[in-house]
Chain A
Amino acid sequence: MSDLPHTCLLLIVLCNFYVLSTGRLANLIRILSVEGVLLSLIPLPAALAGSAHAAILVAGTLAVKGVIMPALLMRALRSIDEPLDSRPIVGAVYSLIPGFFILAAAFVAGLHIPLGDAFDPLIGGVGLATLVTSMLYMVNSRKAISQVIGFFIMENGILILAVGIRHGLPFVIEIAILFDLLLAAMIFGGFIRRMHEVFTHTDTSRMRKLKG
């Protein structure tokens, strides 16, 4: 059971690489849901040890990040009739290679983050890698919806770091962040639909010419 957070962290890294390499938006949303489930499993040993705080966090993360947020995004994706691929600016090969070096750098940098002793030494590195990889993904994507997905993955990275940092964040803040995210997912969904109605596409790179 003590291996569970470690395994989850490794699978999250693999999910990040999958995000960099896939082009299909529906798969991206599915992988976002998988990451949410993996993320919710990290505090599970603490919850089973009897911590009510951790138990609520597991349930909240699972519900919001594993189920509701991906469902909202999937609905937004279905409501716009566009090609279902993300058409990144550079291809998978050229984003996987920097992704790998980001992971290596994050593992080195992660060693310098002051972590609680109870946690896996990898947690800092994986959190940083998720954060920076999602930035790379957002910069590289054209579609509004894939940028939103990148934003949520970035938030996952922040959550991983928050779990690992000594004493963790206060309970109220963690729950508040979850609700903020839920609201963000709803607003982004509406936003994407509105964008599609006005411009008949959601390609953000074509919006540069709107600037004066």
Chain B
Amino acid sequence: MSGAIIHWAGHLALVLVASPLLFGIISRTKARVAGRTGPPLFQPYFDLIKLFRKGAVYSRTTTGVFRAGPVVAFAAILSSALIVPFHGGRAPLSFQGDLVLFAYFLGLARFFMIVAALDTGSAFEGMGASREASFSCLAEPAVFLSFIALARASGSFSMSEFLSVGLIQAWPSAAGPALVLVVASFVLVLLAENARIPVDDPATHLELTMIHEVMVLDHSGPDFGFLQYAAAAKLLVFGAILVHIVHPVRSAGFLPFLAAMGLGLALVAILIGLIESSMARLRLARVPQYLVAANVLSGFAVLLTLAPHS
């Protein structure tokens, strides 16, 4: 029993400690590409500590939904992190079909962020909520199709299994091309889901184009801290899945695996930083096309895993 508690607590602690560092690496990469020194790597931690020490301001038009939003979103993202294995071996929460629960945890987090944004009664935030809802309609099927292709290729419906043992067997087999397509699709979805540049710019406050930032404008202090922390944890979760798909490692002991995963995540963060420094954001009308392309790639991967192999 105590072993299980240590497993759960350790997993969560890992997520909580490591996730803000990814933002630090991204902004450091962007600064380096632009020829600046950039903020220190641990700046996101200082920002979070500052936010959590502040008080919150609530508008008189808001209700309890607005206060619940950030907390529920943060809790749901942490719960989804429990399903993803970060260290060798299984994740704390693992059963056949847990990938559906994973997708629904993300959906729950998004739902509460949207409802909290609508609760402010501001037209501006409603616009952001509407955009978030309509784009997620296209991003979620792509995630699901990717997972279905991975499950088909590896023969297991549990994330802990298909992300490690299943994929090690699937890569050299005839499913290899399908996995390449899944990787491409998942990179597109990772950028979209985490509000990174081709879809959304986390640094902008230009009202015509913001999606995620506009939804969280009215949150202050600890509430905003929770939302930032949730965003960091979500990036960590998606990054970890991507690292697992690209390079599935079977547990080679706790520390070597952790080092490999950390290196992989750092590479993902640097990749995001490079994409953000080299690309402009897509026009808002082009975002659905981008997301449909992600769907088409992962759907093609599903078709390939269903087709008879030569």
Contact = CB atoms under 8 A, between A and B. Distances in A.
B289 A92 contact: yes
Interface stretch (A45-53, A95-103, A145-153, A199-207): A95-103
A128 to B, nearest CB: 13
Contact of B296 (A91, A100, A125): A100
Interface of B: 177, 288-289, 292-293, 295-296, 299-300, 303-304, 306-310
A113 interface: no
A175 B309 CA distance: 31
A120 B292 CA distance: 28
Given A13-B300, A99-B296, A6 B289 contact: no
B289 A103 contact: no
A103 B300 contact: yes
Q: Which of A17, A93, A107 has the most CB of B within 10 A?
A: A93
A38 to B, nearest CB: 14
A141 to B, nearest CB: 17
Contacts of A7: 177
A10 B175 CA distance: 12
Nearest to B302: A104
Contact of A17 (B293, B303, B308): B293
A7 B176 CA distance: 11
Given A7-B177, A21-B289, A21-B293, A125 B307 contact: yes
Nearest to A10: B177
A202 B309 CA distance: 45
A190 interface: no
A137 to B, nearest CB: 15
Contacts of B310: 6, 120-122
A96 B289 contact: yes
B234 to A, nearest CB: 26
